[in-house]
């Protein structure tokens, strides 16, 4: 069963992938049984269907490979191995002491069971072993996978090669938006705490929650920089950019005067936006400090 935190992690992965152009993410609610949640990888006339859990693991495997500087062929090999060994599921059991996405065995020196049940570790261990295979870059996917896994069924990886290649191309962005996902978000919860906790665990608190004074500080720095640029444009007698000289201008203004006028508009507009934003956060800070004082 694909439960709470796994859903959250999958959605995080899919949102990031969608934002980077790797995936198309569609959220649905109350669409009935005819619109099942799931993900699809399309390559030519062939489409492969994955659950959100499988997709999260596939994108993790791809991300680890790219972070290690490995080519897409390595990702295809790893995905084919995981498809054969676990169907891209992080299994807590298997043959003898095999566990995880690749059914790696602690007794064979792959790592502890808890490590191998961590997808990023398991993928990294697979890639490190693959890198030790001489000439793996030119080996067929099934041969390279077998050299790493040493399976009793050495040809079993071949059936997964087309799907592994398609997923690798989609997950690494080689095929723009080659991965499409439909996620049933269900009824809107009364609180976003479970999702927020999952996001915090996956991405870290600083990426999610910055204190109001820090936000004001960021805005202040950006505001000062924009003001200096606006003032420079307003009072400079020399055009900063060549296109000012060549561009047509209204009212017979010289290039320098046109630039000065643009600087005035820039200062007025940006100052209003930044000051409004800073005022908003200051007004938010006052109740927070009052609440903190009342608790002291």
Q: Position of tokens 């697979």?
A: 126
This model's pTM is above 0.85:
no
140 phi-psi bin (left φ>0, alpha ψ -120 to 50, beta other): beta
Q: What is the predicted pLDDT for the residue at 173?
A: 79
Predicted confidence (pLDDT) at residue 30 exceeds the cutoff of 50: no
Predicted confidence (pLDDT) at residue 140 exceeds the cutoff of 90: yes
In this structure, of 90-99, 171-180, 201-210, the range with the lowest mean pLDDT score is: 201-210
Helix axes 52-67, 4-19, angle to 10 degrees: 50
pLDDT confidence band for 276 (50 / 70 / 90): confident
Asked whether 123 and 101 are in contact (CB, 8 A), the reply is yes
What is the separation of C-alpha 50 from the centre of its chain, rounded to a whole number of angstroms?
18
Q: What is the predicted pLDDT for the residue at 96?
A: 85
The Cα 70–Cα 91 span in angstroms is: 25
262: helix, coil or strand?
helix
Return the top range by mean pLDDT from 104-113, 187-196, 261-270: 104-113
Average pLDDT estimate for 56-76: 92
Q: What is the predicted pLDDT for the residue at 20?
A: 47
Q: Position of tokens 């935190």?
A: 5
224: helix, coil or strand?
helix
Radius of gyration of the chain (CA): 27
Q: Enumerate the β-bridge partners of residue 6.
A: none
Q: What is the predicted pLDDT for the residue at 294?
A: 54
Q: How many CB atoms within 10 Å of residue 52? A: 22
Domain boundaries, the chain: 4-188, 212-295
56: Cβ contacts below 8 Å, ≥ 6 apart: 6, 9, 10, 13, 14
Predicted confidence (pLDDT) at residue 31 exceeds the cutoff of 50: no
Q: What is the predicted pLDDT for the residue at 19?
A: 47
pLDDT digits (tens, 9 = 90+) for 42-59: 887 888 989 888 988 999
Predicted confidence (pLDDT) at residue 135 exceeds the cutoff of 50: yes
In this structure, of 81-85, 109-113, 187-191, 260-264, the range with the lowest mean pLDDT score is: 187-191
The DSSP element (H or E) to which 47 belongs, if any, is strand 46-50
The DSSP element (H or E) to which 38 belongs, if any, is strand 38-43
């Amino acid at each position: 069963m694909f439960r709470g935190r796994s859903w959250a992690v999958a959605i995080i992965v899919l949102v990031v992938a969608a934002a980077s152009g790797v995936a198309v993410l569609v959220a649905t609610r109350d669409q009935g049984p005819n619109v099942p949640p799931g993900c699809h990888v399309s390559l030519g006339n062939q489409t492969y269907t994955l659950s959100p859990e499988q997709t999260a693991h596939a994108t993790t495997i791809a991300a680890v490979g790219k972070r290690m500087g490995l080519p897409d062929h390595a990702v295809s090999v790893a995905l084919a191995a995981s498809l054969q060994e676990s169907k891209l599921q992080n299994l807590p059991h298997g043959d003898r002491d095999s566990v995880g996405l690749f059914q790696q065995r602690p007794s064979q020196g792959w790592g502890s069971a808890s490590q191998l049940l961590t997808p990023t570790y398991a993928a990294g261990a697979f890639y490190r072993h693959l890198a030790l295979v001489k000439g793996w870059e030119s080996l067929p996917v099934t041969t390279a996978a077998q050299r790493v896994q040493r399976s009793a069924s050495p040809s079993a990886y071949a059936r997964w090669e087309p799907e592994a290649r398609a997923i690798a191309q989609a997950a690494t962005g080689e095929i723009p938006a080659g991965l499409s996902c439909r996620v049933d978000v269900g009824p809107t919860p009364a609180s976003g705490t479970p999702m927020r906790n999952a996001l915090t665990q996956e991405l870290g608190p600083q990426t999610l929650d910055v204190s109001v004074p820090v936000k004001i500080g960021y805005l202040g720095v950006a505001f000062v920089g924009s003001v200096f640029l606006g003032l420079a444009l307003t009072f400079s007698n020399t055009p900063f950019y060549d296109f000012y000289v060549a561009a047509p201008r209204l009212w017979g203004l010289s290039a320098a005067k046109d630039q000065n006028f643009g600087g005035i508009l820039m200062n007025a507009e940006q100052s209003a936006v930044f000051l409004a934003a800073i005022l908003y956060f200051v007004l938010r800070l006052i109740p927070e400090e009052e609440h903190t004082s009342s608790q002291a």
